[in-house]
């Protein structure tokens, strides 16, 4: 069983489009995250949710809107995609905040 | 902003050699983790250290947390091609929900 799964794995889309990435974890963790990894492999946190509530929003443009329907799911919707949004987006979960993170396989987003 | 600097940024060595990579910060952390990431995959947790001076071993990998809990090192003995990957340190503090990642070390072991 995949612990943290995100879909799709690859996403190619045109500038200006709206897209969503889905994430689910079956670990029973309370905390979920979205991270962005740039071309230099630097991992930067975007959002953190604890039991469906937003805890961290790291100065992310408001074109990015996370949604957590329940504590096992954290989806990411992106409006009006820009070229600079191209990156690998990782979903992760932790048993508690500030503890070890378990990552999904990533979604490689390419905006053309 | 807590900044975790890793060095070296790139390291390429022959199979069988030993190596050490470092993770440094000016901030004090309550815990520090090391992850390994392979191409096309997410980072995978290797170890967590929480006590200043703590040393943990995972087969040929030895992890140490600095006495002041501001830095950490990862030592690999007799490196193998399977050790190739991106090594990331990450740290957090109690009361701060954020797990901050380091700048990464890309390790290549040449057979």
pLDDT by residue for chain B (111 residues), tens only, comes to 558 999 999 999 999 999 999 999 988 888 899 999 999 999 999 999 999 999 999 999 999 999 999 999 999 999 999 999 999 999 987 666 678 899 999 999 999
Chain B hits for A36, Cβ within 8 Å? none
Instruction: Give the separation between CA B34 and CA A38, rounded to whole angstroms.
Output: 19
> Mean pLDDT, to the nearest integer, of A36-40?
92
Instruction: Give the separation between CA B89 and CA B55, rounded to whole angstroms.
Output: 15
In degrees, to the nearest 5, what angle opens at C-alpha B97 toward C-alphas A33 and A40? 55
* Distance between B104 CA and the closest CA of chain A, angstroms: 7
**Confidence at A97, pLDDT banded by 50, 70, 90:** low
Please report the pLDDT score of residue A15 as a whole number.
Answer: 97
φ/ψ of residue B83, rounded to 5: -80, -10
φ/ψ of residue A64, rounded to 5: -95, 120
Query: How far is the CA of A14 from the CAs of A35, A64, A91, B3, in angstroms?
Result: 22, 16, 23, 34
Residue B1, C-beta contacts closer than 8 angstroms, at least 6 positions apart: none
Task: Provide residues of A within 8 Å CB-CB of chain B.
Answer: 4, 31, 33, 35, 41-45, 48, 50, 55-56, 58, 90, 92, 94, 97-106
* Among the partner residues A4, A100, A102, nearest to B48 by beta-carbon distance: A100
**Confidence at A1, pLDDT banded by 50, 70, 90:** low
In this structure, what token pair is assigned to residue B94? Answer: 């109690």
Q: How does the average pLDDT of chain A come out, rounded?
A: 92
**Confidence at A98, pLDDT banded by 50, 70, 90:** low
A102, B45: Cβ pair inside 8 Å? yes
Query: How far is the CA of B1 from the CAs of A30, A44, A100, B56, in angstroms?
Result: 25, 12, 20, 28
């Amino acid at each position: 069983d995949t612990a943290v799964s995100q879909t799709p794995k690859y996403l190619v889309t045109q500038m200006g489009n709206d897209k969503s990435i889905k994430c689910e974890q079956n670990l029973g963790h309370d905390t979920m995250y979205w991270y962005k990894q740039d071309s230099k492999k630097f991992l930067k946190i975007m959002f953190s949710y604890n039991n469906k509530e937003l805890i961290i929003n790291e100065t992310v443009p408001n074109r990015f809107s996370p949604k957590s329907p329940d504590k096992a799911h954290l989806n990411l919707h992106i409006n009006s995609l820009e070229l600079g949004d191209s990156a690998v987006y990782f979903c992760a979960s932790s048993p508690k905040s500030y503890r070890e993170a378990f990552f999904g396989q990533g979604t490689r987003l390419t905006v053309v | 902003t807590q900044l975790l600097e890793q060095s070296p940024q790139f390291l390429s060595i022959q199979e069988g050699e030993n190596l050490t990579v470092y993770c440094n910060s000016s901030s004090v952390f309550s815990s520090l983790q090391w992850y390994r990431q392979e191409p096309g995959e997410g980072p995978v947790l290797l170890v967590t250290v929480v006590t200043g001076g703590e040393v943990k071993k995972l087969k040929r990998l030895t992890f140490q947390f600095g006495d002041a809990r501001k830095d950490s090192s990862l030592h690999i003995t007799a490196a193998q091609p399977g050790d190739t990957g991106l090594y990331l340190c990450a740290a957090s503090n109690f009361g701060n929900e954020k797990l901050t990642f380091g700048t990464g070390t890309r390790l290549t072991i040449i057979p």
